[in-house]
Structure 1
Amino acid sequence: MKVKKILTSVLVASAVLAVTPTVSLALGGPSGPKLDYQIPGKLGYVMMDPYGYAPLTAVITDGGYKVKDAHVKIVPKKGGQTVEYDVNNENTKLYAGIPVFGLYPDYKNSVEVSYTRILGTKSEKFTETYTIYAPPVFQTGNGIKQGGLPYSSVTVEKVDNKFKDRLYLLNNIQGKAGGKSSKVVWNNPSGGALEWNYFSNAFIVDTHGEVRWYLNAEKLINYDDIYNTGIMMGFKQNNDGALSWGYGQRYAKYDIMGRKVFNRRIPLAYNDFSHSLDTLNNGHFLMRVGSADLKRADGKNVRTVRDVIVEVDENGKVFDDWKLFDILDPYRDVVLKALDQGAVCLNMDADHAGATLSSEELAKLDKSDNFGDIVGSGPGRNWAHVNSVDYDYNDDSIVISSRHQSAVIKIGRDKQVKWILGAAKGWKKQYQDKLLQPVDAKGNKIVCEDETSKCPGYTGDGDFDWTWTQHTAFVIDSKSNKDVVYLSVFDNGDGRGIEQPAMASMKYSRAVIYKIDQKKMTIQQLWEYGKDRGIDWYSPVTSLTEYQTDKDSVMVYSATAGMGEYDFKAGRALGAPQPEIDEFEWGKKEPSVKIKFKGTGAGYQGMPFSIQKALSK
């Protein structure tokens, strides 16, 4: 027994010596805990990308001290934008030091920090400057074309002083990930969310167009696992400053330093998240999904497409759902027949640019067993294409944007339609009293022709038009109440007036603000932008319009501007996506911010980001 104990002690001692730094041995053997990393200042070491998802972040670790009242300033490049913020004392504990956000990639950043350092009863204040090198932006490509980050060029045309401190979170889509993705189909011949399993990215730029943060999706996505892949969409900054979004069969929440709050499968009764995730003040989430298994009236079982809203609580349990194929008319096809088949969501097909589906073609499709993410009527096909959902706190309702119905619709908790913003043509009798009546500023009725599918604003001669294949319909909470709703919408403009124009160059998109009197069932157009920009600003798909409370402004992201050009003689599309940020002071006709991008891939959505909300509060 004694020999065994001695042998064990020798083995343990040998193991310790094997991992002890050689500098300790040179000093005569191990002598207790000793640092073997660089300490560049008065605290601990600098830890880059602490959680592995945010490469342009770092933590100046506390070094065993208590740190409070920290302030961080990223010294800008010459003529650049300062990123500066206080750090909440709770966050210095959470990150074990001072979190650093906003580093320039591939650059030696000068980071100024001030803080109070406490050890025992001794408290000292310090101001220091750290030099922190951040690596270049990296994203795997598909070996065919450049896209995503870094972009090929950015043009900052205008930034008014009021907006010079803005940071913008952009969510863009690069294209298919080569052989890594698009291998799985839910419904033959087309798939669900995984059909759009493209490279996607989320990054933050300043008002000089410099990247100051990006999400390392390479570590998040596993293309070989159908339950851990998909295009990232629906980004929101939560009240606690963290980011939430969804992808494929998952939804997730991470903070700006890359710390995972949660990453969950969507509930098993649903499938194929895409487009929209709304965060509620009570911790619930509204997600646009499909039904994982629906038995149609004809006895066929299908997975439905972009036509279900599910509400989950803070723990991921299902709280409620809205099955739109039971609430709306999934066989209303007047808009489907007017869609440009060359631009249906992300399906940009130059061979079908300007083409539409005839009544005969739709009828033939409806009788077939072709289901999936294809334009067609009835459950199991892309009849609704809901691309946003927003919650109205005033009456416990949801507001959805249905691209393939060219309608914004409010639905109550009781699953009853409250109103419909859109052309009256094709709606059944049971919905007729839900259609909003356009009025002018004096409350006078605006007459729209052809069952209200064409209004005076259609030709540019009036101040009202409906939205067409729109994206994002958001309630402006701070201006709305139980009687009146202010709504921001991005009117993409495809199929305007339920038809395709004689020439593609006649197309245009708009950012629009509406005022809806819910008692009188009237709608007034308050503001619009984009009609005069014409085809150059036209975004056939994606994009966003959203009110921003902090600056009383309207943020607009024309995310696929530049893709509308088409050479009919050559029979091909000419345009490449050139997303554009425009931000307006409330009521102003010209933007206070205008920033254009090239080489980012197709844009999806963009929004201001608050570093103060993320780290200061």
Structure 2
Amino acid sequence: MSGISRRDFARLTVFAAAAAAVPMVAHAFGGPSGPSTIYKKQKIGEVIMNPYKIAPLTAIIRNGGYELRNASVRIVPKEGGQEIAYKVSDSQLLTHGGIPVFGLYPDYRNKVEVTYDRIFYGKTERITETYTMATNDIFGLHPFPKAVVRKAAPAKFADRLYYINNIGGNNNTRHAVWNNPEGGALQWSSYPLNMIIDTKGDVRWYLYPIGIYDVDSLYDGGIMMGLRQNEDGAITWGYGQHYVKYDIMGREIWNRRLPYGYNDFSHTMDAAQNGHYFLRVASSNLKRSDGRNVRTVRDMIVEVDQNGNVVEEWRLWEILDPYRDTAIKALDQGAVCLNIDPKLAGKTLSSEDLQKLDKEAHFGDIVGTGPGRNWAHVNSVDYDPTDDSIIISSRHQCAVIKIGRDKKVKWILGAPRGWKKPWSDALLTPVDANGKPLACGDAACENTNFDWTWTQHTAFRIDSKSDKKTIFISVFDNGDGRGFDQPPLPDMKYSRAVIYKIDQEKRTVEQIWEYGKEMGHEWFSPVTSLVEYMPDKDSIIAYAATAGANYDLKTGGLTSAPNPYLDEFEWGSTTPAVEIQLKNTTGYQAFAFDVNKAFNGKIM
């Protein structure tokens, strides 16, 4: 491909695909009447489909040189479909140079109703118009999953939109490893499948990432993870060696390389209440106590300010015990996060196996103990502003842990086995609803529904229900290694969505809600997944993101891809109000997307 770079070619391809979706009636570039436009002219200005080239189901109705104020947009639903309607702040009108349109159906002639004030030399007119916007079918490098509605949304949730963060399959860059120094987790790279669906299961937005992402690149690839909608309505996330912020129209706010001292972002990025961002990364170069230099693996948190300056770091190998192997020896080696190998299903590591790794100095994205191996596997971080602390989920320690800015452990929610002093002093005591301690051993509690979490994902503080003394935590208990053991039969495994209430003064924990145990192996999600509270509807979202995968244990082949469950519950209810299942796709996380926040969010 002489004379043009791979990235430029990709961008031209995206532009061509986007342009194909624009109905054009004026083709002349010039002539007696002067310059003209190739865009379709309507009431105020041209309509630009996919204006930022990465969100094909968006458009901008340009302002045509007028001043616009007080705008609102309605996407007319298909027959039996879901309406999307939202107001647009004056700031958004100015930012996009017109009216931003979000939520178009793919492969459809969409009817879009807009209302706005048009101000022209002091005269204000209130105008309502209808536009027709034709879109292409979904296009990408991997097929997007079909969403099947298993339980229709009641009125309370009828306007709900769900942002789905799935994974398109591992790429051959998995063979790449950092080698200066050794170790690291760079081999993770997979095409993203990010989309927004409505409660009818229709896709209303998706990401076409080629302009910002290259799955074959060591620096521009990775797995897009940790997506969150900020209070200003924009989306933040990370992938590989980047962390980024974009609005839902596809406009780049910033796209930054990780600071040089850190590498291999994955899993989680928290937009904190103090305006900073907390990223789960790893060290680019750590001098171990034995003198070896390594890149660490998923065991470091950094805090960056709005300008990307690093203001703090949490070196977890110095804060926790990186040689605690109790949970690591119980892990199913066939499903160590996304490193799924069915031929190793049910197998575990012994003390001898771990000693061999240490003796032979093997480092990298491998389960083991000590810096330079995947001993912690932190998959979420959440900031608590009441005491300036962070809450992390460590999959390979089967523990949720709170750590202060002083780098001291405040509490540990996890089974007691294997914790030495001083960490054992931080363990929370399980209690019932009356505050009475439960009969618990070092791995299980008797005659109670209480359980700790096992290889869990997402430990999120429920801000609106928590204060400095009492904190509510939502967790997805994946369930592998439950009780520090593997069951006799694989289909005995199950996952749970669970909420805990922690009294930080008494250092106790009460389990107040769970779902999933009754679903059994059907809902079992060995890796990934999420549980999160949604304050706008006082509800809980659970995404069992890898449920339903089946393997041929003899060949190691995949006989059916995962079929994730997306459930939303009224607070306190153990029956889903909404249930949608996605077919034949590997999920990571999902959350409720707030369209009004996207176009009227708090300015940050």
TM range (shorter): over 0.9
Q: Does 1:212 align with 2:204?
A: yes
Output one character per residue of 1:416-466: Cα deviation in whole Å (capped at 9) or x when no partner.
Answer: 0000000111111211210000000111111112xx21123xxxx522000
2:54 maps to what in 1? 53
**How far apart are residue 480 of structure 1 and its match?**
1.0
Output one character per residue of 1:7-66: Cα deviation in whole Å (capped at 9) or x when no partner.
Answer: xxxxxxxxxxxxxx86864xxx4x5x5433455432001001111111110001111111
**How far apart are residue 187 of structure 1 and its match?**
4.8
1:18 maps to what in 2? none
Are the aligned partners of 1:193 and 1:248 in contact in 2 as well (CA < 8 Å)? no
Partner Cα distance (1:465, 1:575) in 2: 30
2:364 maps to what in 1? 372
SS in 2 for 1:539: coil
SS in 1 for 2:111: strand
Partner amino acid for 2:529? Answer: S
2:511 maps to what in 1? 525
**How far apart are residue 252 of structure 1 and its match?**
0.3
2:448 maps to what in 1? 462
1:557 maps to what in 2? 543
Q: Does 1:307 align with 2:293?
A: no
**How far apart are residue 201 of structure 1 and its match?**
2.2
Partner Cα distance (2:555, 2:188) in 1: 28
Partner amino acid for 1:71? Answer: S
SS in 1 for 2:152: strand
Are the aligned partners of 2:149 and 2:199 in contact in 1 as well (CA < 8 Å)? no
Q: Does 1:588 align with 2:595?
A: no
**How far apart are residue 192 of structure 1 and its match?**
3.5
- Of the three residues 244, 261, 267, the one matched with 1:269 is 261
Partner Cα distance (1:99, 1:48) in 2: 10
Output one character per residue of 1:66-123: Cα deviation in whole Å (capped at 9) or x when no partner.
Answer: 1111111001111000000011111111111110000011111011111111211222
Query: After the TM superposition, which residues 250-265 of structure 1 pair with which residues of structure 2 at under 5 Å, given as runs?
Result: 250-265=242-257
Query: After the TM superposition, which residues 159-198 of structure 1 pair with which residues of structure 2 at under 5 Å, given as runs?
Result: 159-177=153-171, 179=172, 181-187=173-179, 192-198=184-190
SS in 2 for 1:429: coil
Partner Cα distance (2:304, 2:45) in 1: 41
Partner Cα distance (1:416, 1:153) in 2: 44
Are the aligned partners of 1:371 and 1:380 in contact in 2 as well (CA < 8 Å)? yes
**How far apart are residue 152 of structure 1 and its match?**
4.0
Partner Cα distance (1:266, 1:575) in 2: 36
Partner amino acid for 1:587? Answer: G
Query: After the TM superposition, which residues 73-222 of structure 1 pair with which residues of structure 2 at under 5 Å, given as runs?
Result: 73-141=74-142, 147=143, 149=144, 151-177=145-171, 179=172, 181-187=173-179, 192-222=184-214
Partner Cα distance (1:41, 1:172) in 2: 37
SS in 2 for 1:159: coil
Q: Does 1:325 align with 2:322?
A: no
1:15 maps to what in 2? none
SS in 2 for 1:235: strand
SS in 2 for 1:92: helix
Are the aligned partners of 1:156 and 1:208 in contact in 2 as well (CA < 8 Å)? no
**How far apart are residue 190 of structure 1 and its match?**
8.8
**How far apart are residue 176 of structure 1 and its match?**
2.0
Judged with a 3 Å threshold, the aligned counterparts in structure 2 of structure 1 residues 217 and 356 are, in CA distance, closer, same or farther, namely: same
Partner Cα distance (1:137, 1:116) in 2: 34
Partner amino acid for 2:595? Answer: I
Judged with a 3 Å threshold, the aligned counterparts in structure 2 of structure 1 residues 38 and 399 are, in CA distance, closer, same or farther, namely: closer
Are the aligned partners of 2:534 and 2:541 in contact in 1 as well (CA < 8 Å)? yes
Partner Cα distance (1:188, 1:267) in 2: 17
Q: Does 1:386 align with 2:378?
A: yes
Partner amino acid for 2:209? Answer: A
Query: After the TM superposition, which residues 291-440 of structure 1 pair with which residues of structure 2 at under 5 Å, given as runs?
Result: 291-440=283-432
Partner Cα distance (1:42, 1:570) in 2: 62
Partner Cα distance (1:283, 1:517) in 2: 27
SS in 1 for 2:187: helix
Gaps (5+ residues) in structure 2? 1-26
Output one character per residue of 1:115-142: Cα deviation in whole Å (capped at 9) or x when no partner.
Answer: 111211222222111110112211114x
1:7 maps to what in 2? none
2:468 maps to what in 1? 482
**How far apart are residue 575 of structure 1 and its match?**
4.5
**How far apart are residue 188 of structure 1 and its match?**
9.6
Partner amino acid for 1:612? Answer: N
Partner amino acid for 1:593? Answer: V
1:598 maps to what in 2? 583
Are the aligned partners of 1:235 and 1:243 in contact in 2 as well (CA < 8 Å)? yes
Judged with a 3 Å threshold, the aligned counterparts in structure 2 of structure 1 residues 256 and 23 are, in CA distance, closer, same or farther, namely: closer
Are the aligned partners of 2:393 and 2:400 in contact in 1 as well (CA < 8 Å)? yes
2:276 maps to what in 1? 284
1:8 maps to what in 2? none
Query: After the TM superposition, which residues 37-52 of structure 1 pair with which residues of structure 2 at under 5 Å, given as runs?
Result: 37-52=38-53
**How far apart are residue 367 of structure 1 and its match?**
1.6
Judged with a 3 Å threshold, the aligned counterparts in structure 2 of structure 1 residues 403 and 58 are, in CA distance, closer, same or farther, namely: same
Partner Cα distance (2:476, 2:373) in 1: 24
**How far apart are residue 481 of structure 1 and its match?**
1.1
How many residue pairs align between the two structures?
Answer: 576
1:244 maps to what in 2? 236
**How far apart are residue 566 of structure 1 and its match?**
5.4
Q: Does 1:608 align with 2:598?
A: no
Partner amino acid for 1:576? Answer: A
Are the aligned partners of 2:298 and 2:377 in contact in 1 as well (CA < 8 Å)? yes
Partner Cα distance (2:247, 2:554) in 1: 50
Output the aligned Cα RMSD: 1.9
Output one character per residue of 1:375-406: Cα deviation in whole Å (capped at 9) or x when no partner.
Answer: 00000000000000000111000000000000
1:537 maps to what in 2? 523
Partner Cα distance (2:414, 2:265) in 1: 25
Q: Does 1:515 align with 2:504?
A: no
Gaps (5+ residues) in structure 1? 1-20, 142-146
Are the aligned partners of 1:234 and 1:245 in contact in 2 as well (CA < 8 Å)? yes
Partner amino acid for 1:469? Answer: T
Partner amino acid for 1:275? Answer: H
**How far apart are residue 156 of structure 1 and its match?**
3.6
SS in 2 for 1:398: strand
**How far apart are residue 573 of structure 1 and its match?**
5.8
SS in 2 for 1:401: strand
Judged with a 3 Å threshold, the aligned counterparts in structure 2 of structure 1 residues 64 and 408 are, in CA distance, closer, same or farther, namely: same
Are the aligned partners of 2:76 and 2:111 in contact in 1 as well (CA < 8 Å)? yes
Deviates more, 1:182-191 or 1:478-487: 182-191
Are the aligned partners of 1:156 and 1:207 in contact in 2 as well (CA < 8 Å)? no
Partner Cα distance (1:91, 1:190) in 2: 47
Output one character per residue of 1:483-506: Cα deviation in whole Å (capped at 9) or x when no partner.
Answer: 111100000000000000011111
Partner Cα distance (2:556, 2:98) in 1: 59
Query: After the TM superposition, which residues 488-507 of structure 1 pair with which residues of structure 2 at under 5 Å, given as runs?
Result: 488-507=474-493
Partner amino acid for 2:151? Answer: E
**How far apart are residue 482 of structure 1 and its match?**
1.2
Are the aligned partners of 2:545 and 2:586 in contact in 1 as well (CA < 8 Å)? yes
SS in 2 for 1:194: coil
**How far apart are residue 225 of structure 1 and its match?**
3.5
**How far apart are residue 191 of structure 1 and its match?**
6.1
**How far apart are residue 155 of structure 1 and its match?**
3.2
